[in-house]
Amino acid sequence: MDINDLRAIVTVVSLLTFLGIVWWAYGVKGNKKRFEEAAMLPFIDEEADWAELGLDRHGKRKAS
């Protein structure tokens, strides 16, 4: 076994790992809702800040 065999093995393992991650991210149906919720996390505090200031999402005063 020389260095080229080791490189080939590492390449195959890396490809399989990449394909596994792609399958996990796009193939598992239960993850979609969880990923959508996680994508909205940065905006949760922002909406609370806007509400605290009495502004809507566009930065304009809410009608009282």
Model pLDDT for residues 36-55, shown as the tens digit of each residue: 888 888 777 776 666 767 77
Encode pLDDT of 1-22 as tens digits.
899 999 999 999 999 999 999 9
Q: Quick check: is 59 in a domain? A: no
Task: Give me the domain span that covers residue 19.
Answer: 3-53
CA quadruple 8, 10, 11, 12: dihedral positive or negative?
positive
Determine contact, residues 61/54, Cβ cutoff 8 Å. Answer: yes
Alpha-carbon span 46 to 63, nearest angstrom: 19
Give 24's DSSP letter.
Answer: I
Q: Quick check: is 63 in a domain? A: no
Q: Which residues make beta-bridge pairs with 55?
A: 61
In total, how many domains does the chain have? Answer: 1
Q: Quick check: is 62 in a domain? A: no
Specify the pTM.
Answer: 0.53
Q: Quick check: is 22 in a domain? A: yes
Q: Quick check: is 16 in a domain? A: yes
Q: Quick check: is 46 in a domain? A: yes
For the CA atoms of 55, 43, 58, 61, the dihedral, rounded to the nearest 10 degrees, stands at 0
